[in-house]
Amino acid sequence: MIKRKKSGELIIISGTTCAGKGTIIDKLLERNDNLSLSLSYTSRPMRPGEVDGVDYKFISHEEFEEKIKNGDFLEYAKVRYGEYFGTPKEEVKKLLSTGKDVILEIDVQGARQIKELFPETILIFIMAPSMSEVKKRIKTRGKETKEQVLDRFITAYKEINEIPKYNYVVVNDNLEDAVEKVEAILISEKCRVDRIEEIAVENQEEFMHELLLEDEKEFKNDPIAKKID
């Protein structure tokens, strides 16, 4: 009776630095076959341990700017240190058309751009339990300079102010709980009435008429009903 939309849902997952959004996404992909992650393009150099086509799609500044001119991105941004990041338009549309739900791991700026283009996009913000926990996680990494740590904190506070523009917020104080909460969000979104394409019963009037006639016949033949009469 219920006909659901054939295209998949677009899901944006953003979050403050060291909130664990990447780990949550990895767990979601492991546990849900209908989920797919759209890889972002970037012009920044590849870091040790990163793999092209797995972490990002790495291209040069010139290639990125050419793609901007061609309108190849759903959204893009030039972030700190002058590097570009962008979400490929055609690749996302292709995945959605197959019925796959597509996750984009992007920042608040990109989320705003895509929400304007696709109002039905599901926006989820991941937070660490506290900023002191963020500081602890950054120190555990041991890769950033003091200036980079400060920059991350300033960015995090700016991003937290954008939370009211999101549909959901999940605090990642326990990884398994956080993953389950995001899964629950995605399940509930599938059940929303405005995401159903059609509710139909073939020959509705005739069908209801037949049901009423059958009920009336059963009632008249019921021994108790006859006694009441």
Q: State which residues form the domain around 108.
A: 2-38+101-198
Q: Which amino acid is at 105?
A: E
Number of domains into which the chain is organized: 1
Residue 123 lies inside a defined structural domain of this protein: yes
CA distances to 59, 93, 115 from 120, in Å: 30, 14, 7
For the entire predicted model, the pTM comes to: 0.81
Residue 141 lies inside a defined structural domain of this protein: yes
User: With contact defined as beta carbons under 8 Å apart, do 39 and 56 qualify?
Assistant: yes
Per-residue pLDDT of the chain (229 residues; tens, 9 = 90+): 666 677 899 999 999 888 999 999 999 999 999 999 999 999 999 988 999 999 999 999 999 999 999 999 999 999 867 899 999 999 999 999 999 999 999 999 899 999 999 999 999 999 999 888 887 877 776 667 788 778 878 888 888 999 999 999 999 999 999 999 999 999 999 888 877 765 555 556 656 666 676 665 555 555 554 554 5
CA distances to 30, 54, 76, 146, 222 from 37, in Å: 11, 10, 17, 32, 60
Residue 189 lies inside a defined structural domain of this protein: yes
Domain harbouring 105, CATH code: 3.40.50.300
